[in-house]
A and B are shown apart, each in its own frame.
Chain A
C-alpha cells in the first residue's frame, strides 16, 4: 500500500479550505500543501451562499456593535474572545478578497457596498449581488491556482483520520476515479469539510453536506461542541428547500400570513423581518399552528413579498432570487409573493477548536462550518459564517502550517496497518459483501424523518428519546446495508454509504446534546423547558465518543465584556 505524503493536508476546498491553503503559503512559500476534496473545489457548497458576508467597513459602524450583535444573536453562548478576534479581522479579510479579485457590489463612489441583514443593527453585510458565496469561492479558487505549491487531489473522498500515539498523522482517502484507498500522511491535518444539513429531510444544503469531518473527528477522539444547535432558515422554497436569501428581507421584503398580516408584529415588532433566524422560524411555525398559514401539497407556508421593491431593485440586487423562484416554483417575485417555509440550513456545532483552529487532538485543525470556535453560540447571524470561513480559515491555515514546520512526518508500521485496516473495513464491509438487504436511501430517509420529528425546531425529552432510540436502531440496521455497485471506478453508491455512516454518528451527537440541554436557547427550543437557564446551562457541551454513544462534558463560555442579559429585540 503506497502512502502519499505532504506537509499540510487540508480536507475540503470550500471557502475555509481554500483560504487556509493560501494562508499556509504565506507562512512558508515552499510548504507542500495538499487540498483534498470529494468534489472539485468550485462545487463546494460555499458556492450556494447568496446574501453576503459581514464586516465593519463603515464609519457609522463599530467593532463593539458587531460584537454585541453577534453575541446577542448567539443567545450568549458565543465565546466572546473569539467574537472579538473575528470582528477585528473581518474587514481585513473582506478587503483582502477584494484585492484577489472578488467582484463585490459597489456604491456609486466605487467603495464596496453593504446591505442590511437579520440580527445586524446596521448595514454591514458585504455582497456580490445575490451570489456572494459563488463569487467568493470562485475568486478564492482562481487565486489559489497561482500557487504551484498548493497541490489538489480533486474527487478524493477522505474516509478516516489516522491517529498514532495521540497525534493526527494523516488520513485515508478513496480516489474516486480509480477506487484506490490510500493513506495520505501529513505533519498537520486540517478539516474544512463544511456542515451536515443532509441529516435532515428538508434543507438548503447540497448533496455533499453530510457531516463527514465532524464524524471523522469524533471517531478519532476529538470532541464535538454545541451539536444541539441546528439553524433553521425561515425562508426556503417549499418542496425543494432551495434558499431564498435573507438579503431579500435586507433589501426590504415583507413576510405575510394567509390573513394578509405582517405577522412578525406579534413576535418581534422591534426588528420585524430583520430579526434573527431562530425567532423568525419559530414565528412562522406559530402562525402555522394558529391556522394562519397557506397550505398546498408541500405543506404549510407563508408569503415573502418583494413586489413593492420593483423590478429594478430585484434585478440589480436579487437576480438569483428571481431566477430561482421563477424556475423552481413558477413565481416571478416582481409580480407575486414567494411561498416560503423554515428549512434546515446551518450547523452551529462542530469540531471544538481554539481560536487558532487547533483541536485537542494534536496535529488536527479545523475551520469553517465543520468547526466550532465558537462565534455562533446557539444561533448564528446570517452573513457571519462566510466571514468566519475567511477569518478562521486564515488563522487555522497559519497555525497548521507552523505546526507542520515544527514536527516530522510519522510513517510507521502502525500507521500503515491502521490504513490497511480501514481499507479492509470498506472493502469487506461494503464492496465485497454479498448479504446486505437494507437500501441506503431507505435508511437515510428514515434517519431524516426521525431527526425532523424528534429533533427539529421544537424538541421535548420524549421526542428526543424516541429519536435517539430510532437512530440506535438505524445504526444496527446499517450493519446490514447493501450497495448495488461493486465496481471500483467512480463508485458513488459506496460514497453514499460512507456518507450515511458519518451522518448516523453526527445525528446521534445532535440528539444526545439536545437531550441533556434542558433549556431553550437560540436554536434549541425545548417545549418542556421553554426558558433560558443561565444558572445551569450557560456552558458548552462537548460530545466525546464512547461505547454507549456520545458522552457529554461541559466547558465554560468565555465572557469578556458582555454580561448575559435577556435577549430582547
Chain B
C-alpha cells in the first residue's frame, strides 16, 4: 500500500495555548477520502485527534475543514488527489474549540436570524390539503434549499473574514430560499434582517462562497439577487414612502 503524510493543525486548549502541527504517515488507497485518513489515525495511531463527522456521504455537513488551504468536505475529497501529502486544518474564520472542531454558535445564530420558516398572513388548515406549487415554482428555490450548513462558504468569504457581524452566504441563501418560495409571504421581514447590515454591500462579485459550495447552492447568486431586491425596495420606499405596491 502507498503511504501518505497527513499534517494536522492541532489545538489543545488544556495543554498548550497555541496551535501546533503534527504529521502522521499512514497507508492509503485510491478509494480513501481525507476523512478516512483521519479515521485511520484516530483508530490506529492517535485516539486523541478530534474532529466531527457522521454520514460519510456528503450530506450531514459535519466534516468541513481546510484541506491544503481550501475549504472542503473531507468525506468528499480523495487522498489520491494529494499525492504530495495533505495538510488538514480547522475551517478558517471560526474560533477553534479543539483540533479540527470549530465553534458553530455564531453560524447557528445567523441561520435563525433570517427567520427560516414559513411566514404567512393566513394559515390554511391542514385538512384543506397542500398549498399547490408547480414544478416550475419549486425550481425557483430548489437550488437554495440544498444547503447542508457545512459552513465552508464562511471559511471562504473575504467579507466575513474582515467582519464577523456579516450575516454571511449560507444565511442569505437560506433567506432567499424562503423568499423565492411561492407559498411564502415573509419577504419584508427577512429583507429587514439582511438589509440592516453593511456586509451585503461589501460583498464583491468574487463569489468565493459559490466556488467552495459542495452542493452548488450558489450563495453568491442569492446575495446578488438580494441586493437588487433591496435596492428596488429602497428606491420604491423613497418614491412612495407610504408603502409600495
Residues of A that sit less than 8 Å from B by CB: 39-40, 42-45, 47-48, 92, 95-96, 98-101, 103-112, 129, 131, 134-135, 138, 142-143, 145-146, 154, 177, 206-208, 239-240, 242-243, 320, 323-324, 327-328, 439-441, 483-493, 496
Contacts A112-B130, A131-B59, A145-B112 hold; do A103 and B31 have CB atoms under 8 A apart? no
Indicate if the CB atoms of B108 and A100 lie closer than 8 Å: no
Interface stretch (choices B131-139, B158-166, B191-199, B200-208): B131-139
Contact (Cβ within 8 A) A177 B97:
yes
Q: Which of B54, B127, B181 contacts A43 (CB 8 A)?
A: B54
| Shortest distance between the CB of B198 and any CB in chain A (Å) | 25
Closest to A98 in B: B130
Report B109 CB to chain A, min CB distance, Å. Answer: 10
Give B105 Cβ to nearest chain A Cβ, in Å: 9
Residues of A within 8 A of B62 (CB): 39-40, 43
Q: Given known contacts A42-B61, A99-B123, A106-B138, is B97 in contact with A111 (CB within 8 Å)?
A: no
When chains A and B are docked, how far (Å) is the Cα of A489 from the Cα of B149? 23
Contact A489 B56, CB 8 Å, known A42-B61, A112-B130: no
Beta-carbon contact of A484 and B117 below 8 Å: no
A487 touches B12 (CB 8 A): yes
Residue A48 contacts which of B51, B55, B133, B134 (CB distance < 8 angstroms)?
Answer: B55
How far apart are B19's CB and chain A's nearest CB, in angstroms?
14
Question: Which one of B60, B76, B116, B138 contacts A103 once the chains associate, using CB atoms below 8 Å?
Answer: B138
Nearest CB of A to B108, in Å: 7
A-B pairs with the 7 shortest C-beta distances?
A110-B132, A484-B47, A441-B43, A485-B48, A490-B98, A206-B54, A142-B116
Task: Assess whether B13 is interfacial by the CB under 8 Å rule.
Answer: yes
Q: Which of B13, B50, B112, B130 contacts A95 (CB 8 A)?
A: B130
B118 CB contact (under 8 Å) in A104, A143, A439, A489: A143
Please name 20 further chain A to chain B contacts, defined as beta carbons within 8 Å, in addition to the given A95-B126, A490-B98, sorted by A numbering.
Answer: A39-B52, A42-B148, A43-B60, A47-B55, A47-B61, A98-B131, A99-B118, A99-B130, A103-B145, A110-B133, A145-B111, A324-B58, A441-B42, A484-B47, A485-B48, A487-B12, A489-B12, A489-B98, A492-B50, A493-B48
Which residue of A44, A146, A207, A240 has the most chain B CB atoms within 10 A of its CB atom?
A: A207
User: Can you list 14 A-B contacts with CB-CB less than 8 angstroms, sorted by A residue number?
Assistant: A43-B62, A47-B61, A103-B141, A103-B142, A103-B145, A108-B135, A142-B111, A142-B116, A206-B54, A239-B31, A439-B47, A440-B47, A485-B48, A490-B97
Which residue in B47, B116, B134, B138 is a CB contact (below 8 Å) of A485? Answer: B47
User: A320 vs B76: C-alpha distance in the bound complex, in angstroms?
Assistant: 13
Contact A489 B14 (CB under 8 A): yes
Q: Contact: B59 with A327, CB < 8 Å?
A: no
From known contacts A42-B149, A484-B48, infer whether A101 and B178 are also in contact, taking CB-CB under 8 Å.
yes
- A487 B15 Cβ-Cβ under 8 A: yes
Decide if B138 touches A492 in the complex (CB within 8 Å). Answer: no
Nearest Cβ on chain A to B26's Cβ, whole angstroms? 14
Q: Using a CB–CB distance below 8 Å, which chain B residues touch chain A?
A: 12-15, 31, 42-44, 46-48, 50-62, 76, 97-99, 101, 104, 108, 111-112, 115-118, 123-124, 126-127, 129-135, 137-138, 141-142, 145-149, 174, 178, 181, 183
Most buried by B among A107, A108, A145: A145
Alpha-carbon distance between A491 and B42 when the two chains are bound, in angstroms: 12
Interfacial chain B residues near A107, Cβ < 8 Å: 135
Measured CB to CB, the closest approach of chain A to B119, in angstroms, equals 9
CB–CB B104/A491 < 8 A: no
Contact of A490 among B56, B101, B124 (CB under 8 A): B101
With A101-B117, A207-B56, A440-B47 as known contacts, state yes or no: A43 contacts B61, CB within 8 Å: yes
A96 to B118, CA, bound (A): 12
Please tell me which one of the listed residues B115, B126, B141 contacts residue A99 in the complex, with CB atoms under 8 A apart.
Answer: B126
Cβ A491 vs Cβ B134 within 8 A: no
User: In chain B, what residue has the closest Cβ to A442?
Assistant: B43
Instruction: Collect the chain A residues with CB atoms within 8 Å of residue B46's CB.
Output: 484
Q: For B52, B123, B130, which residue has the most chain A Cβ atoms within 10 angstroms?
A: B130
**Which partner residue on chain A sits nearest B11 by CB separation?**
A489
How many A-B contacts if CB must be within 8 Å?
164
- Are A48 and B149 CB-contacts (below 8 A) given A143-B118, A490-B101? no
**Are A488 and B97 CB-contacts (below 8 A) given A103-B141, A106-B138?**
no
**What's the minimum C-beta distance from B124 to chain A, rounded to whole angstroms?**
7
A142–B117 touching, CB < 8 Å: yes
Q: Compute how far the CA of A166 lies from the CA of B53 in the bound complex, rounded to whole angstroms.
A: 37
A293–B127 CA distance with the chains assembled, in angstroms: 50
Q: Is the CB of A490 within 8 A of B50?
A: yes
A47 to B62, CA, bound (A): 11
Is the CB–CB distance between A105 and B56 below 8 Å?
no
Contacts of B55 in A (CB 8 A): 43, 45, 47-48, 206-207
Q: Is the CB of B98 within 8 A of A99?
A: no
Is B133 touching A106 in the complex (CB atoms < 8 A)? yes
Q: Are A483 and B60 in contact (CB under 8 A)?
A: no
Query: Cβ of B51 and Cβ of A45 under 8 Å apart?
Result: no
Which B residues lie within 8 Å of A98 (CB)? 130-131
Residues of B contacting A112 with CB < 8 Å?
130
Contacts of A493 in B (CB 8 A): 42, 47-48, 50
CA distance A111 to B147 in the complex (A): 24
CB distance from A45 to the nearest CB of B (A): 7
* Cβ A135 vs Cβ B145 within 8 A: yes
Q: How far is the CA of A99 from the CA of B122 in the complex (A)?
A: 11
Interface centre among A101, A440, A496 (most CB of B within 10 A): A101
Please name all residues of chain A whose beta carbon is closer than 8 Å to the beta carbon of B174 when the two chains form the complex.
142
Quote the shortest CB–CB distance from B149 to chain A (angstroms).
Answer: 6
Contact A146 B56 (CB under 8 A): no
Take A47-B59, A103-B145, A327-B76 as given contacts and tell me if A207 and B50 are in contact as well, using a CB distance cutoff of 8 Å. Answer: no
Out of B50, B60, B132, name the residue touching A47 (CB < 8 Å): B60
Contact of B98 among A104, A143, A154, A487 (CB under 8 A): A487
Pick the most buried of A100, A439, A484, A488: most chain B CB atoms within 10 A of its CB: A484
Smallest Cβ distance from B187 to chain A, in angstroms? 14
| Docked CA distance A96–B128 (Å) | 11
Task: Give A243's nearest chain B residue, CB to CB.
Answer: B57
CA distance A138 to B50 in the complex (A): 26
Instruction: Identify the closest chain A residue to B53 (Cβ).
Output: A207
How many Å from the CB of B162 to the closest CB on chain A? Answer: 26
Instruction: Indicate if the CB atoms of B50 and A491 lie closer than 8 Å.
Output: yes
User: A484 to chain B: which residues have CB within 8 Å?
Assistant: 46-48
List the B side residues contacting A100 at CB < 8 Å: 117-118
Interfacial chain A residues near B123, Cβ < 8 Å: 99
Q: Complex: how many Å from CA A545 to CA B124?
A: 49
Residue contact B117 to A145, C-beta cutoff 8 Å:
yes
Report the bound CA distance from A324 to B60 in whole Å. 14
| A48 close to B59 (CB less than 8 A) | yes
